[in-house]
Structure 1
C-alpha cells in the first residue's frame, strides 16, 4: 500500500518543508499539553480535547483525499479498536512525560521509539535485525543512560520511566500500523483513530472533566488543531519526497522543543542532555538508514506514527 505520488513527481524540498513544519506543530502540541497540565488540567482532559479538536482536521483531510465512500475500513474493526486503545495509552504516557520533564528531555526520550520498534519487530514480526541495527539499538540506550545520569539534576527518574514507557507503547503502535498499512490508506487509519477515541475517552470526562478559563480553552483548541495539522503534514510530506529524505527532518523537533522550553519555562538542556540526545538521534537515523538499505522503502519513523507519538 502506498499513498505517495510516483517518484517522478517527487518534490523533495517541498517534502522537507512540510516535515519541518509538522515537527514545529508537534512541538506546539506538547508545549500546549505541558502548559495545560500546569494549569491543573487532567491528563484525561488533555487527551480527550486533543482528539476532539483534531477530529475535524482529520475528517476534512480524509474526505478531501479519498471521499466519504472510501472511508469504510478494509481491516477488521477489532484491529482499529486495538490500535486506538494502544495509541491512547501511549498518548497518556507521552503527555505525562511532557508534564513531568523539561520539554527537550521528554522529546529526546521519545526519539527512542525506533529503537524499541526494532526490538519488537524482532520479537513479534520475526524480523532479523543484523549487527548494524543491534549496534544502533545499543548506541541509543547509551544515550538514554547518559541523559539519566545522576549529574543531570533536572531529569527526574520517574519522568524518565514514564517517557520510556510512552516510547515503548508508541513503538507497539508502529508495529500495529505496519500491519494496518497493508490494507488501509493513511487517511483511513488516522480518521478512525480519532473517531474511535471519542467514545473511549468521553466517559472519563464524567470523573475528570473540569471548568476552565478562556486561556485554558484556547490552549485546548491549539492542542487539538496543532496535533491534527501535524498529522496531516507528516503524512503529506511522504507524498512528495522519499522517506529516506523525510525521516531525518523529524529530529528537528528537538530544536522547537528546546526553544519552547527556554521561552516558556526558562529551561535549557545541560551537556548530558545534549550528548544523550545526539546519541539517540544518531541511533534512530542509523536504524532508518539500515531499513532503507534492507527494504529500499522504510516504514518506521520517529515522528511518522500516524497518531503514534502524538497519539
Structure 2
C-alpha cells in the first residue's frame, strides 16, 4: 500500500470522525441541559465501555491488553480534565460557538506534533490550517455575541488538554490497535470522572439511558475513526480536515433546532472546503 493511499484513507477516516462527533456533541449538549453535566459525562463514557463489551467478549481480554498502561493512564487523566471543563460549559454555550472554539484544538495538535513527536514542518499544512481557521472566523464572527460569557473561556481552556490527549493517542498508535486505545480511553475517563458524577448523582430516565447508549456508540465509532486517521498519517496532514465540522454543525443545527445558516456561514464554509480540498489534492500529488 502506497503512502498516497494511506494519506487519503487517513483524511477519509478524519472526515467520518467529524460527522460522528458533531452528532455526538449535539446529543450531549441536549443531555447536559437535562441533567447534571458531570453525570452526563460519566454516563457517556460508561456507555462507551458497554457498547464495546460484545467485542471484548468475542475477542477475549488478552486482545485488549495495552502495551503502555502508563500512557493510557495519562491520556485518560488529560482527556478527563478537558471533558470536565467541556461538560461544565457546554449547556451554556450555543452549538456554533462550541464547534468554532473547538477548532483551536487542531492548532495546538499541529504545534505539539512538531515539538513532541518530531513531525516535519510542512508549510502547506500550516497554510491549510490557517485558511480553514479563517473560514471559521468568517462564519462565527457575525453571531459570536459572547452569549456563553465566562463559559466561552472555560470551553476554550479545554482545547490544549484535548490536544495533549490526542498527541498521546498518536504515540500510542505505534504499538496499540485503535480499538484497544478507544476502550481504555472510555475506561479511564469513566474511572476519573466517577467522583465528580457521584457528587451530584441523579438517575437518568429510560429514554435518557437509551440516548446515552447511542452517545456511547457514536463516541466510540468517532474515536475509532480518529485513531485510525492518526495511525495512517501525520497528525498535521489530517487536522485541517477537522474544519469541515463547522459545515456539519450548521447542517445539524438547521435540521434539529431550525438554526438557519446565514451568508457568512456559506462563505466561511466555502473557504473551509477550499482549504481542505487543496491540502488533500496536494498531499495526493506529493
Q: Please report the TM-score for the alignment, with normalisation by the length of structure 2.
A: 0.75
Deviation per CA, 1:123-174: give whole Å up to 9, x if none: 3345452443443444345445445536643764545434433333222222
Aligned match for 2:51, one of 52, 57, 70: 57
Question: Is 1:33 matched up with 2:28?
Answer: yes
Q: Which position in structure 2 is the counterpart of 1:266?
A: 258
Q: Which position in structure 1 is the counterpart of 2:61?
A: 68
Q: Which position in structure 1 is the counterpart of 2:116?
A: 124
Aligned match for 1:88, one of 80, 93, 103: 80
Q: List alignment gaps of at least 5 residues for structure 2.
A: none
Matches within 5 A, 1:145-160: 145-147=137-139, 149=141, 152-153=144-145, 156=148, 158-160=150-152
Distance 1:61 1:118, change over 3 A: same
Report the CA distance between 1:196 and its aligned residue.
2.1
SS of 1:129's equivalent in the other structure is: coil
State the aligned residue count: 285
Alpha-carbon separation, structure 2, partners of 1:283 and 1:221: 35
Question: Is 1:115 matched up with 2:107?
Answer: yes
Report the CA distance between 1:180 and its aligned residue.
1.3
Aligned match for 1:228, one of 217, 220, 227: 220
Alpha-carbon separation, structure 2, partners of 1:237 and 1:276: 25
Question: Is the CA contact 1:121–1:127 (under 8 Å) kept in the aligned structure 2?
Answer: yes
Alpha-carbon separation, structure 2, partners of 1:215 and 1:150: 36
Report the CA distance between 1:33 and its aligned residue.
1.0
Report the CA distance between 1:49 and its aligned residue.
0.6
Question: Is the CA contact 1:105–1:273 (under 8 Å) kept in the aligned structure 2?
Answer: no
Distance 1:27 1:150, change over 3 A: closer
Deviation per CA, 1:33-68: give whole Å up to 9, x if none: 1111222x222111101111110233444565x643
Report the CA distance between 1:212 and its aligned residue.
3.7
Alpha-carbon separation, structure 2, partners of 1:61 and 1:285: 36
SS of 1:153's equivalent in the other structure is: coil
Q: Considering only aligned residues, what root-mean-square deviation do their CA atoms show, in Å?
A: 4.4
Q: Which position in structure 2 is the counterpart of 1:48?
A: 42
SS of 2:259's equivalent in the other structure is: coil
Question: Is 1:209 matched up with 2:209?
Answer: no
Alpha-carbon separation, structure 2, partners of 1:140 and 1:15: 18
Alpha-carbon separation, structure 1, partners of 2:133 and 2:240: 19
Between 1:212-221 and 1:47-56, the stretch displaced more is 212-221
Q: Please report the TM-score for the alignment, with normalisation by the length of structure 1.
A: 0.70
Question: Is the CA contact 1:104–1:258 (under 8 Å) kept in the aligned structure 2?
Answer: yes
